[in-house]
Amino acid sequence: MDSFRRQGMEFDVRDAGPADGEPVVLLHGFPQDRTAYDRMAPVLHGAGLRTLAPDQRGYSPGARPTGRGAYRLRETAQDVLALLDAAGLESAHVVGHDWGGIVGWALGAWYPERLRSLTALSVPHPAAMAKAMVTSDQALRSYYMALFQLPVVPERLVLAGNGAALAKMLRNGGLPREAVAHYVQRMQEPGALTAALNWYRALPYGARDGVGRVSVPTLHVWSTEDAFLGRAATEATRQYVTGPYRLEVLEGVTHWIPELAAERTGELVVAHVRSTT
């Protein structure tokens, strides 16, 4: 399959690997797209796993609804369920990075019957994140989330200099030049950046969409050089997982785990999947 539909919208998806392999859904974050897993997916395919990597809501040109309410976590999580239904899958393993990881945590809490396992890259459980905001330096690390609540201004800042500001931020994080160019180009598509920022602007809906404890087998991968997500929330995450849980720490890696630690992370995911099947 190369696309699926929900609520009149069309989502692009890359379906690759052995068709009869254990299915693994790969969810990207901001400002990435499904290509974030291009380096990691072959590791999974080599282990006999099938991957489905969608361009999430706001990132697929055919799925850019207007208004921040359309990007609340309940909607983005149900997009993944629609993907599973379209693929004829009752359940799948889910790997999520950044915002994709937050969607993964929500799926694990709200729809555990649809997840065979969860791998959260970088992001802690949302409740651990909320706690760390008032007990550590996490609020300082997350200052941009408040900035993104403003109308218009973030778009101008992020794409200042024809995208030069965004490109500099991504390069400073160690992303390869070709990935930087690709992500910047995608964010310059009509409506793309506003749609991507609406994920952040929908955060006020979070009080209604609380993410509870997760019972599915969970692998949490965090990197020591992540400028956005600190150790406090990472270490607090364990208390919000009631099922099997494992934390892996990648030394010297920045936030962009799927691109910069693709082989090691792929190996961790393969081992996690095998341990739950």
Query: Could you give the residue numbers annotated as active site?
Result: 98, 200, 255
For 21, 28, 91, 127, 208, the CA distances from 212, given in Å and listed in that order, are: 30, 22, 20, 8, 12
* C-beta of residue 223 within 8 angstroms of C-beta of residue 250: yes
Q: Are 31 and 98 in contact (CB under 8 A)?
A: no
Name the residue type at position 20: D
Question: How crowded is residue 139: how many other Cβ atoms within 10 Å of its Cβ?
Answer: 13
- First vs last C-alpha separation in the chain: 24
Closest-CA residue to 107 (of 84, 78, 70): 78
At position 173, the amino acid (one-letter code) is G
Query: How far is Cα 70 from Cα 210, in angstroms, rounded to an integer?
Result: 17
